[in-house]
A and B are shown apart, each in its own frame.
Chain A
Amino acid sequence: MDASFWLLQCLNAMQYSMLLFLLSIGLTVIFGLMHFVNLAHASLYMLGAYFGISVSAMTGQFWLAFMLSPIIVTCIGAVLYFTLIDRMRGAGPMNQVLVTFGLIFVILDLVRLGWGDIALGLEAPAELSHTVSFWGISYPAYRLFIIALGLVVMISMWVVLRRTQIGAMIRASVENADMAASLGINVGRLFFLVFCFGCALAGLAGVAAAPIFSATTTMGITILIPTLIVVVIGGLGSLEGAITGSLIIGFLETFGAVLLPSLSAVLTYMLLAAVLVFRPQGLIPARG
């Protein structure tokens, strides 16, 4: 186990962290802004994967699927927003849990009806299906692409949130929605935009993950828990929290698998419990 072995594992950890980041950032921002725990977020991730596979199968174009799938998922998200989510904002967390759990069930069976029970796969695009050699290792180009994608989203999110007017509006609304509204910010529209953006990222994560993982009807419910863990460890509602959380979980799971395989099934839960016992609001909460 030489240096190149560890470099390889670091890349694996980065790749996993970036996928977790794409999923958790949408969830955490929606929560931070709207105080809405959207458990169905993971189902949108599943839809992203399935729509990606279908578009790719119909057109033979991976990149078209890559663009189109998040858009389709966003449209579904918009419909959900107007029919359910908007009404549920003031309904209290327990009702939100019930509604979004109901949505998980409905979407699960719709996917089974539409695509069947058998797991499906998506081929990586030809230009990314080789391996790249550098510093004594060879690494799949597609995984490098995921890392790059995650970093690009991360940096642009940071720039938007910290350096633009809409970012300032979002931050103000996270801080105090009522005050932001009385300062003339159209909070309702802002909510809608952020919700759609979160859905788009979930769809993007789904289609981006499909060439690495297969698409199964249970993929939504299995990714839900790791995503929630990332969000909660990082601290709800903050970009920095989502980044920290996904990096911690990505590296913990990867190196746990390498170094402590017998414990790797519970490492994440142990960390989660430890963080919450000592820092009940997560590591980097949105509000002091």
Chain B
Amino acid sequence: MFYQTHLRSIALILALGFLAIYASFGSYFAREIVVEITILAILAISLDFCAGFGGMVSLCHGAIMGIAAYVFTIMGVKLGWPSLPSATLGLLAAVLFSGMVGWVTARTSGIFFIMATLAFGQMAYTFFFKSRWLGGDDGMGGISRFDLSWLGLDLNDALVFALLGVGVLFLVYVVASILLRSGFGRVLCGIHSNENRMQAMGVNTAKHKALAMACSGFMAGMAGIIAAQHTLYISPELLIWTVSGEVLLVVILGGIGTLVGPVIGAIILIMMKHELSNYTDYWHMIVGVVLILAVLAGGRGVYGQIEVWLEAFFKPQAPKEPKEPTESKEKEQDLA
């Protein structure tokens, strides 16, 4: 079950505040990094939504993002549509694709679900890779950013774009947390902890799983639209399974099933990658060691671990918060 605790709100505000300050006062490249982080963080929230709360560990979130980016670009560049309808259609395509995947794979679970989503993701990747009309592996350029001049915003300014990204990240978080606290979110968590029981109670679990994937697809689609707007160029690389793998790493690293943890995971991974690659070509190794250490240190992810520590620390002073410990226990069950 998901609770928007004070600790989570504080962590989210701190994380978003850090990104905003880093973008505002940092160099040009800091803004690039902030956008990169927001894209990954949105994807991570989207994956945590279905993996951490619905038990659907998807390996096709890169593909979902890529489909939104491609449809957005096809409409805008190839067919000359204005950007807002193109983006809407891109989001719709992402929602349809992920809902379809969720529905078709509803009977699978665990590694079988992971591999089934991988298969659908790779099929989408191959489709774009082989389509000559869409530039094949060379990709497509010619994208332009949204015209927000009526709001007095120039998105071609790196700072404005980075801050807008942080804003979208916040919105996606709010949407995810509202959905999870709704009746639908509770049913989803119920399916995660005991699917048979939910079925016995008369819940159509396949439908709920497909819906959860569709919602998740909507969020991943947002990441896709930002990614296309950010680089002004798209290629099948967006859809390849290693992108989805990286998202999964970020979710686990930050703390699966905490919603804010993945945001922190994204910040850690991207910052670490860029800082390390300044010094060595062998930064993969250091990232790998960090991943291993993160698990050995407790296995709840960076934020998940901090949450547990802080709660243990505050427990004597505030005995009136019994729900947190039960929740972390439930989380462990989720993982098992």
Enumerate chain A interface residues (CB-CB to B < 8 A): 37, 84, 87-88, 91-95, 97-99, 101-106, 108-110, 112-113, 221, 225, 228-229, 232, 236, 265-266, 269-270, 272-273, 276-277, 280-282
Contact = CB atoms under 8 A, between A and B. Distances in A.
B126 A102 contact: no
B116 A97 contact: no
Given A92-B299, A92-B332, A265-B130, A113 B123 contact: no
B252 A276 contact: no
Given A98-B294, A270-B123, A272-B116, A108 B299 contact: no
Contact of B111 (A93, A103, A112, A225): A93
A282 B287 CA distance: 34
Contacts of B122: 225, 266, 269
B285 A105 contact: yes
Contacts of A266: 122-123, 126-127
A128 B109 CA distance: 45
Contact of B112 (A91, A97, A269, A276): A276
Contacts, number: 124
A-B complex: 8 closest residue pairs judged by Cβ atoms: A105-B288, A92-B335, A102-B291, A109-B285, A106-B288, A102-B292, A102-B288, A280-B108
Nearest to B246: A101
A94 B126 contact: no
A167 to B, nearest CB: 25
A95 B299 contact: yes
Given A99-B292, A276-B115, A109 B105 contact: no
A2 B127 CA distance: 33
B115 A228 contact: yes
20 contacts: A95-B295, A97-B252, A98-B253, A98-B292, A98-B294, A101-B245, A101-B249, A103-B292, A105-B285, A105-B288, A108-B284, A109-B284, A113-B282, A225-B122, A236-B111, A266-B127, A269-B126, A272-B115, A273-B116, A276-B115
B312 interface: no
A273 B335 contact: no
B116 A84 contact: no
Contacts of B129: 265
Contacts of B148: none
Nearest to B245: A101
Interface string B292-305: 10111001000000
Contacts of B335: 91-95
B79 interface: no
Interface in B226-252: 241-242, 245, 248-249, 252
A103 B295 contact: no
Given A280-B112, A281-B112, A105 B252 contact: no
B284 A95 contact: no
A94 B256 contact: yes
Contacts of B242: 221
Nearest to A107: B288
Contacts of B107: 277, 280
A146 B108 CA distance: 35
B241 A112 contact: no
